[in-house]
C-alpha cells in the first residue's frame, strides 16, 4: 500500500454484491479496485452465511439419515458416530475453496484487490487502512485511492438484543452457531426466521434439544400461510420445539449456560439452555464509512438510500446489496451489483424485484417466488389456486420423500402465474422454473402444457399448474 492509484471504480466490500459488481465493471472496461477488510473475499455469504450453513445442513442431514433413515432402504449401518471437527473441517474446505476462487477471478479480470478497511474521504476518493488475514488492523500505512465512482457494498451484520450480547460461545449469532466446538445439550433459538430455523435444524439433527422462540404469532410469517402451517408441522415432527407468541424479556448467565426470562403460554416464565442463538434479524452495516461527511443519506433503518439506478444523492457514489433496501439475499446482492456496474458503464442495468426467489434450506426445503395468497387477498386481486402434493408424485415416492406440495397462485382472468410456493426435498432447485415462468410472464397453462420428464419432482409443478387451470387439464 505504498502508492496511490487511480481507478474508474472503487468497490467497498467484497461480498456477493461487491465482488460480482467489481468483476462485471472490469469486464465492461472499467479500471476497478475492491477493498475488503475481513481478510478473505466472498463477504457474509461465503465466509459466515450461505455457504458454511449449507455445508452443515448437508452434512448434518447425512448424519441424521445414516442414523434414522438408511435402514428403511435396506442399507444397514451400525456404529454411526458424529465427528464434529471433521464436519467443521469439510465446511471450512468448501469456504476456502470458494473464497480463493474469487481471488483468482479478480486476477483474471484485472480487479485490484486491497485487503483493508475502506473509508470514503470525498466523492472521488477512498482511504484504505490495511488489515491482516483475520480482518484486524495492520501497521501498514493508509493509502488513498482516487476514483471516478465509489460503490458501497458493505452488507449487513446480525442484530444483537441488549440483554443478550454476543460472546459467540454461550450467546451466539449465526457466525458462532456455524462454529460451535461441541453439540449443545439444549439450544435456544431466539427468532424463528430463515436463519434460526436452518441452524436450529442443523443442531437438532446433531443431537441438541432445540427450542425456537418466536415473538410473533407465526414462525416465518413471510411464507404463504398454508405453506407456513405445513412447514411448521414438519419441523415440529422432526423434533424442533417451536413456541410462538413468546417473548424473551431478559437473561441471566448461569454456571451451565443461560436462563432466559420469558413471557410465554407454552414455555412458562423461563427456559434454560447451554447455548442461545440470537437470530432476530440483520442490520445494514455502514460503520466507519464516513457517509455523513460524504453527504450520503440513510433511511430510518440505517440503509443507504439509492435511486432505481443504485445511485445515492452523491452522483459518484452508488450502493447495492444488504446495505440498501430489499431482501437480504446473496442473489439479490449479485443482481444489484451487475445492474449497478452496467449503469456506471453507461448501460441500462435493471433488477426485477418481483421475481427474486427465496429458499429455506431445511429438509424438506421451502422455496417461493412472487405473491402469496394473503398478499393477493390484501391487494384485492382475483386469483385461482392450483396444488399438487408430493405424496402423489412418483419420484418423491421412489425417494420416500413424500412431504410437501407445489402451490401456484394465478390471475383468475388471465391465468398469468402470480406466485409459486413449494415445500419439498429439492424445492430450492425447483423454484427456478417458477422464477423463469414469472420473468417471462407465463400463464399456468403454458407450464401445464410443457413436457416435464418422468419420473421427476418437476412434474409436481406441471400438475399444480394443471390443477389451477379452469380448462379441465387436471387429473385430480
Residue of 160, 153, 210 lying closest to 185 (CA atoms): 210
**Does residue number 329 form part of the binding site for ligand FAD (CB under 6 A)?**
yes
**Does residue number 328 form part of the binding site for ligand FAD (CB under 6 A)?**
yes
Say if residues 262 and 250 touch (Cβ distance below 8 Å).
no
In the set 58, 68, 421, 454, the catalytic residue is: 454
By CB under 6 A, name the one of 23, 25, 32, 38 that touches ligand FAD: 38
What is the SS3 assignment for 156? Answer: strand
Say if residues 159 and 246 touch (Cβ distance below 8 Å).
no
**Does residue number 321 form part of the binding site for ligand FAD (CB under 6 A)?**
yes
**Does residue number 331 form part of the binding site for ligand FAD (CB under 6 A)?**
yes
**In the structure grid, which three cell numbers stand for residue 391, read together?**
405424496
Task: Give the integer Cα–Cα distance in Å for 60 and 357.
Answer: 25
CB of 395 to ligand FAD, least distance (A): 24
List the x/- string, 110-129, binding to ligand FAD by CB under 6 A. -------xx-----------
Task: Give the integer Cα–Cα distance in Å for 470 and 5.
Answer: 63
List the x/- string, 170-189, binding to ligand FAD by CB under 6 A. ----x---------------
Categorise residue 268: left if φ over 0, alpha if ψ from -120 to 50, beta otherwise. left
List the x/- string, 262-301, binding to ligand FAD by CB under 6 A. -----------------------x--xx------------
Query: Which one, 124 or 131, has the nearer CB to ligand FAD?
Result: 131
Catalytic residue flag (residue 454): yes
Query: Which one, 193 or 419, has the nearer CB to ligand FAD?
Result: 193
Alpha helices in 207-276 (DSSP H): 225-237
Parallel, antiparallel or unpaired: strands 143-152 and 125-130: antiparallel
CB of 33 to ligand FAD, least distance (A): 11
Task: Give the integer Cα–Cα distance in Å for 249 and 4.
Answer: 51
Residue with cell 476518493: 125
By CB under 6 A, name the one of 17, 200, 364, 389 that touches ligand FAD: 17
**In the structure grid, which three cell numbers stand for residue 338, read together?**
451487475
Residue of 24, 8, 9, 10 lying closest to 333 (CA atoms): 24
By CB under 6 A, name the one of 18, 130, 176, 349 that touches ligand FAD: 18
**Does residue number 191 form part of the binding site for ligand FAD (CB under 6 A)?**
no
By CB under 6 A, name the one of 23, 26, 30, 45 that touches ligand FAD: 45
Residue with cell 472496461: 29
Laid out side by side, the sheet with 209-213 consists of 171-172, 275-278, 186-190, 209-213, 241-243
List the x/- string, 74-93, binding to ligand FAD by CB under 6 A. --------------------
Q: Which residues bind ligand FAD (CB under 6 A)?
A: 12-18, 35-38, 43-45, 49-50, 53, 117-118, 153-156, 174, 195, 285, 288-289, 321-323, 328-331, 333, 361
Catalytic residues: 454
Amino acid at each position: 500500500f505504498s502508492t496511490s492509484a487511480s481507478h474508474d471504480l472503487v468497490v467497498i466490500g467484497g461480498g456477493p454484491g461487491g465482488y460480482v459488481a467489481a468483476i462485471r465493471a472490469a469486464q465492461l472496461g472499467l479500471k476497478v479496485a475492491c477493498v475488503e477488510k475481513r481478510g478473505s473475499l466472498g463477504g457474509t455469504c461465503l465466509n459466515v452465511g450461505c455457504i458454511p450453513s449449507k455445508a452443515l445442513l448437508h452434512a448434518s442431514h447425512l448424519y441424521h439419515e445414516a442414523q434414522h433413515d438408511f435402514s428403511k432402504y435396506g442399507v444397514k449401518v451400525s456404529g454411526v458416530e458424529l465427528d464434529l471437527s471433521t464436519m467443521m473441517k469439510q465446511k471450512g474446505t468448501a469456504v476456502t475453496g470458494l473464497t480463493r476462487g474469487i481471488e483468482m477471478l479478480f486476477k483474471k479480470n484485472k480487479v485490484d484487490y486491497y485487503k483493508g478497511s475502506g473509508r470514503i474521504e470525498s466523492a472521488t476518493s477512498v482511504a484504505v487502512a490495511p488489515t491482516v488475514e483475520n480482518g484486524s488492523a495492520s501497521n501498514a500505512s493508509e493509502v488513498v485511492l482516487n476514483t471516478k465512482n465509489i460503490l458501497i457494498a458493505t452488507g449487513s451484520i446480525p442484530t444483537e438484543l441488549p440483554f443478550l450480547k454476543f460472546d459467540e460461545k454461550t450467546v451466539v449469532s449465526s457466525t458462532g452457531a456455524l462454529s460451535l466446538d461441541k453439540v449443545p445439550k439444549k439450544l435456544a433459538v431466539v427468532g424463528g426466521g430463515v436463519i434460526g430455523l436452518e441452524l436450529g435444524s442443523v443442531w437438532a439433527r446433531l443431537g441438541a434439544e432445540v427450542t425456537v422462540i418466536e415473538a410473533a404469532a407465526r414462525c416465518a410469517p413471510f411464507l404463504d400461510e398454508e405453506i407456513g402451517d405445513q412447514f411448521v408441522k414438519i419441523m415440529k415432527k422432526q423434533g424442533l420445539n417451536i413456541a410462538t407468541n413468546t417473548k424473551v424479556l431478559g437473561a441471566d448467565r448461569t454456571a451451565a449456560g443461560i436462563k432466559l426470562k420469558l413471557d410465554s403460554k407454552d414455555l412458562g416464565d423461563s427456559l434454560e439452555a447451554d447455548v442461545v442463538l440470537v437470530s432476530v434479524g440483520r442490520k445494514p452495516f455502514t460503520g466507519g464509512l464516513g457517509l455523513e461527511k460524504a453527504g450520503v443519506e440513510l433511511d430510518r433503518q440505517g440503509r443507504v438510500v439509492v435511486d432505481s439506478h443504485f445511485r445515492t444523492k452523491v452522483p459518484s457514489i452508488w450502493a447495492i446489496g444488504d446495505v440498501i433496501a430489499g431482501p437480504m439475499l446473496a442473489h439479490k446482492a449479485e443482481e444489484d451489483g451487475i445492474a449497478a456496474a452496467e449503469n456506471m458503464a453507461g448501460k441500462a442495468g435493471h433488477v426485477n424485484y418481483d421475481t427474486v426467489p427465496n429458499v429455506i434450506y431445511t429438509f424438506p426445503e421451502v422455496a417461493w417466488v412472487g405473491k402469496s395468497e394473503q398478499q393477493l387477498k390484501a391487494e384485492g386481486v382475483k386469483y385461482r389456486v392450483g396444488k399438487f402434493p408430493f405424496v402423489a408424485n412418483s419420484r418423491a415416492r421412489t425417494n420416500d420423500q413424500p412431504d410437501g406440495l407445489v402451490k401456484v397462485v394465478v390471475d383468475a382472468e388471465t391465468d398469468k402465474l402470480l406466485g409459486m410456493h413449494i415445500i419439498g426435498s429439492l424445492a430450492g432447485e425447483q423454484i427456478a422454473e417458477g422464477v423463469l415462468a414469472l420473468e417471462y410472464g407465463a400463464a399456468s397453462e403454458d407450464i401445464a402444457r410443457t413436457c416435464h420428464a418422468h419420473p421427476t419432482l418437476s412434474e409436481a409443478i406441471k400438475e399444480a399448474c394443471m390443477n389451477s387451470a379452469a380448462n379441465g387439464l387436471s387429473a385430480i
